[in-house]
Amino acid sequence: MIRTITRPSTAACTLPMYIGFLLSEPHATSCLRLGELLNISHDSVNRFLNRESYTPRDMFDEAKLTLNLIGGVLSVDDSVLDKPYSNYIGYVGYYYSGKHHAVVKGINLITLYYTDPQGNHQPVNFRVYDKSENKTKNDYFQEMFAEVLSWGIKPLFATMDSWYSCVKNLKTIRNNQIGFCVALEKNRFVSIERGTEMHIEKMDIAENGSVVWLREFGYVKVFRTYLKDQIRHYAVYLPQNHSETNDKSDALLADFTKANFERLHDQHWQIEQYHRTIKQVCNIESFQVRNKIAVKNHIFSAICGYVKLQQMRATDIIANCYQLQRDMFNQIITTFINTFTPGMAHMNSRYKTVVQ
């Protein structure tokens, strides 16, 4: 948690300083570089990263300021922070990367991301995968899901990819009266009539979706999408639909159209944009510390930087998360060009009269 101090702080480096550094430094995000910019010792920056013990709740307390916590969509996904040349950095391991379509060396970050009914969106919980804890990604999801509910979030739907669509997770969501839209692997068993199962890839699915029985869960509505050469399957469950006792033609599921599905599916895309932004703008992959405390505090700071950018976007200070960094150097670049070019006029093309 954020520390409560009993006397005025003498720390030369603080969390706002470090967040500002991550959002503004275009290249070398190191303790030494921040020390040079602020005229402080690089050891002060290193001590800051090793001293604090921030938690996901600290991040949530800041993120919730611009969110309506009731009636939104809660999404879960993970991303690999590439660290291909790191041998002694905490949390680094080998994980499958959707970006590289291969197992790569890096840090696995798992995030719960919330989009409220007004369209504002923020990360609300996160975990850094630690193999020493002997937990799976689904264990981390169960922990984070329970936490955000206890913190006051009351989502209408949860969305996730197929990695998190195990029956235990689906039942946990249903038991909290929350609907879901989840991706299913092609070998998941479903049936039109209970007891006659087949792989979902072999089932004829209507254009507007089909109501089926999902093994060990109950009735859901499934949709099939085509993206280039990829065929994907999704299952939708509505929180009011007690499908284990109701007939499969339950009006709530039957009335859930493909347009409803596409709107819900599009909201899950916010977490993909979040992963791209924290890497491209917030410098989450760029650090030169090794132990787990420092690495986790760096990741926390980068995510808080993203939270601040979203708050600025929500209040129309910036149009998008990329604008702040792009505009930051406009005047510097303009001044440099105007200063650099006058002495190089001789290199310009010269007009020469054509000889008759």
Report residue 314 as tokens.
């929500």
- Measured between alpha carbons, how far is 104 from 213 in angstroms, rounded to an integer? 37
Phi first, then psi, for residue 335 (nearest 5°) are -60, -40
Q: Nearest CA to 147 among 84, 235, 76, 87? A: 76
Percent above pLDDT 90 for the chain: 74
Residue 272 has pLDDT above 80, yes or no: yes
CA–CA dist 270, 97 (Å, integer): 18
Question: CA 290 to CA 297: how far, in whole Å?
Answer: 11
Distance CA 296, CA 287 (A): 11
Most confident of 96-100, 101-105, 147-151, 253-257: 147-151
pLDDT grade for 248, boundaries at 50, 70 and 90: very low
Full set of structural domains in the chain with CATH: 1-53+285-333 (no CATH), 54-280 (3.90.350.10)
Q: How confident is the model at residue 247, as a pLDDT?
A: 52
Summarize pLDDT for 287-346 with one digit per residue, the tens.
Answer: 999 999 999 999 999 999 999 999 999 999 999 999 888 888 888 889 999 888 888 878
Nearest to 91 by CA among 113, 112, 109, 111: 109
Report the chain's mean pLDDT, rounded to a whole number. Answer: 90
pLDDT at 244 over 50: no
Q: Which residue do the tokens 């001293």 mark?
A: 51
Confidence of residue 241 (pLDDT cuts 50, 70, 90): very low
DSSP state string for 28-48: --SHHHHHHHHTS-HHHHHHH
Is residue 19 within 8 Å of residue 303, measured between CB atoms? no
Long-range contacts of 164-171 (CB under 8 A, 24+ apart): 164/76, 164/137, 164/138, 165/235, 166/138, 167/215, 167/216, 167/217, 168/138, 168/142, 169/138, 169/141, 169/142, 170/214, 170/217, 170/237, 171/217
For range 236-258, the mean pLDDT:
69
pTM for this model (two decimals): 0.90
**pLDDT of 348:** 78
Choose among 93, 71, 72, 74: nearest CA to 82.
93
Task: Say how far apart CA 333 and CA 194 lie, in whole Å.
Answer: 67
Q: How far apart are CA 76 and CA 153, in angstroms?
A: 14
Confidence of residue 351 (pLDDT cuts 50, 70, 90): low
| Euclidean distance between CA atoms 307 and 118, whole angstroms | 17
Q: Which of 5-9, 56-60, 90-94, 130-134 has the lowest mean pLDDT?
A: 5-9
Which amino acid is residue 143, in one-letter code? E
pLDDT in tens, 59-111: 999 999 999 999 999 999 999 999 999 889 999 999 999 888 899 999 999 99
